[in-house]
């Protein structure tokens, strides 16, 4: 009589090999369980060459600093559309002020008790989407790439003298909007062109030749980050005129709205640190053995943790009589403060050049991206890990590993493209990445 017993096989990063441990279930005969140390999980830090940041509805404003990546600041570029502009006919029509206003979206990161200083500049070059070169093979294109985009490394020229600046203490959950007062001379020139029906304000192409757009730049000394709704940014000409019927002055404004696709965030490292210099080549992987068993995951910059399981195929080859029932990957966070940990992360499958080719999908799904859940490791300690169910993905992972591929741990794409946050992952003797395979011995 053949007994089918469900056993659990735990793959450790390192450690001794013990055999002939015994377990008894009810009145059945004991069965031997092996814990093998030949299955290692290697871990690295990798940086994407670039990630798309255009067309999103969040513009990032701020600067953050840490010991690993140094000082990182944002530059948010936006093109304005002409739309339909006009002013009422009046003998006593006058321009009162000109400003740029936008609304915060409640996102924040860093120390928001510190003053943030921002500079608003006029662009000297047009914003244009970059096309992915046609000569690139499919395995050179990331899974999240489109045919046209602007990226976190894209640069557009701007005039060095700012149009305006502002210093304030961010209150993203209370504060509604921010406003920059622009030079009155600029507004008067625009207003006169509008009154004269100048072609620069009646023809969209001529308007873009005249005014190419704006960039909001964070001061390098800032210590926080906030998000704004990019569709809420407007350049306004405020005017007033005499109402001849009432004898009172009426107020009005002419607004220029943002282009829905020609806007993006540039994420700019300011310190020439060896770590970022090494990671500038996406094909390079920085082993955790060189970084005190710590790996980095950072949104905005596109830094991810790379994981390989080099002896996974060997397990399958040497255990043909095992039927795998469940596979779980546990990735421990180095941070113990749950308030600083993202609730969910994702996994990419990458090729040998560290280019993400696909997502790890939810159990028995071919389209729903799996979000690894945050789990408390021990109730007595503030230790957490991210858990991924790899049961339905394990065969693809095995094939990818044989071709030099790997798994990449990342923030979700929404966070990857729209935030600038950091997480450290641990892979030490006391806090290991584990692959847990539950199997039935036939």
pLDDT, tens digit, 9 for 90 and up, residues 231-283: 999 999 999 998 877 878 899 999 999 998 999 999 999 998 888 889 999 99
Residues 6+ apart with CB under 8 A from 330: 375, 385, 386, 387, 433, 434, 435, 436
Q: Taking 70 as the threshold, does the pLDDT of residue 130 lie above it?
A: yes
Which of 17-31, 199-213, 289-303, 364-378 comes out lowest in average pLDDT? Answer: 17-31
Residue 286: beta bridge partners? Answer: 45
pLDDT digits (tens, 9 = 90+) for 198-218: 999 999 999 999 999 999 999
Q: Taking 60 as the threshold, does the pLDDT of residue 37 lie above it?
A: no
Print burial letters for 390-411: b (CB count within 10 Å at least 16), e (below 16).
Answer: bbbbbeebeebbeeebbbbbbb
Res 30: pLDDT: 36
Q: Measuring CA to CA, how many Å separate 281 from each of 38, 48, 120?
A: 31, 8, 32
- Contact criterion met (CB below 8 Å) for 358 and 366: no
pLDDT digits (tens, 9 = 90+) for 141-155: 899 877 789 999 999
Closest CA to 5 of 397, 22, 378, 431: 22
* 399-409: average pLDDT: 95
Res 38: pLDDT: 45
* 386-392: average pLDDT: 95
pTM of the predicted model as reported, rounded to 2 decimal places:
0.88
Q: What is the C-alpha to C-alpha distance for residues 100 and 311, in angstroms, rounded to an integer?
A: 58
Closest CA to 314 of 8, 4, 5, 11: 11
Rounded to the nearest angstrom, the gap between the alpha carbon of residue 429 and the centroid of all alpha carbons in its chain is 30
Mean pLDDT of the chain: 87
Give the whole-number percent of the chain exceeding pLDDT 90. Answer: 66
- Contact criterion met (CB below 8 Å) for 269 and 70: yes
Res 8: pLDDT: 38
pLDDT digits (tens, 9 = 90+) for 301-333: 999 999 999 888 888 888 888 888 889 999 999
Q: Taking 70 as the threshold, does the pLDDT of residue 20 lie above it?
A: no
- Contact criterion met (CB below 8 Å) for 148 and 129: yes
Res 68: pLDDT: 84
């Amino acid at each position: 009589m053949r007994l089918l017993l469900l056993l659990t096989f735990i793959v450790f990063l390192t450690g001794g090999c013990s055999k002939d441990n015994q377990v008894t279930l009810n009145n059945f005969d004991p069965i031997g369980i092996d814990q093998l140390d030949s299955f290692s999980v290697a871990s690295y830090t990798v940086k994407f060459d670039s990630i798309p940041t255009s067309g999103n509805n969040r513009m990032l404003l701020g600067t953050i600093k840490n010991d690993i990546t140094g000082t990182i600041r944002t530059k948010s570029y936006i093109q304005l559309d002409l739309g339909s502009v006009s002013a009422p006919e009046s003998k006593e029509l006058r321009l009162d002020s000109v400003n740029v206003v936008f609304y915060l979206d409640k996102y924040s990161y860093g120390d928001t008790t510190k003053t943030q200083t921002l500079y608003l500049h006029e662009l000297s070059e047009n914003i244009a989407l970059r096309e992915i070169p046609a000569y690139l093979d499919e395995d050179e294109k990331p899974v999240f790439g489109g045919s046209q985009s602007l990226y976190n490394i894209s640069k557009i020229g701007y005039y060095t003298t700012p149009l305006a600046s502002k210093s304030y203490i961010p209150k993203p959950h209370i504060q509604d909007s921010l406003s920059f007062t622009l030079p009155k001379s600029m507004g008067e020139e625009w207003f006169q062109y509008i009154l004269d029906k100048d072609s620069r304000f009646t023809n969209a192409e001529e308007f873009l030749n005249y005014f190419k757009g704006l960039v909001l730049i964070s001061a390098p000394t800032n210590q926080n980050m906030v998000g704004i709704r990019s569709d809420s940014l407007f350049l306004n000409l405020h005017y007033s005129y005499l109402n001849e019927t009432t004898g009172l002055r009426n107020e009005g404004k002419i607004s220029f709205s943002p282009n829905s696709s020609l806007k993006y965030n540039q994420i700019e490292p300011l310190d020439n640190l060896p770590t970022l210099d090494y990671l500038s080549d996406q094909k390079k992987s920085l082993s955790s053995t060189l970084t005190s068993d710590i790996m980095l995951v950072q949104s905005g910059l596109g830094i991810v943790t790379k994981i390989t399981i080099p002896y996974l195929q060997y397990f399958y080859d040497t255990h043909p009589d095992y039927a795998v029932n469940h596979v779980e990957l546990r990735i421990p966070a180095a941070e113990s403060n749950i308030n600083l940990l993202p609730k969910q992360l994702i996994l990419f499958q990458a090729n040998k050049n560290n280019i993400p080719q696909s997502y790890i999908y939810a159990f028995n799904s071919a389209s729903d991206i799996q979000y690894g859940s945050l789990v408390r490791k021990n109730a007595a300690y503030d230790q957490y890990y991210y858990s991924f169910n790899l049961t339905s993905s394990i065969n693809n992972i095995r094939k990818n590993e044989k071709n030099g591929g790997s798994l990449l741990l990342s923030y979700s794409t929404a966070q990857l493209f729209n935030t600038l946050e950091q997480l450290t992952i641990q892979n030490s003797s006391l806090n290991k990445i584990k692959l847990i395979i539950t199997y039935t011995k036939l």
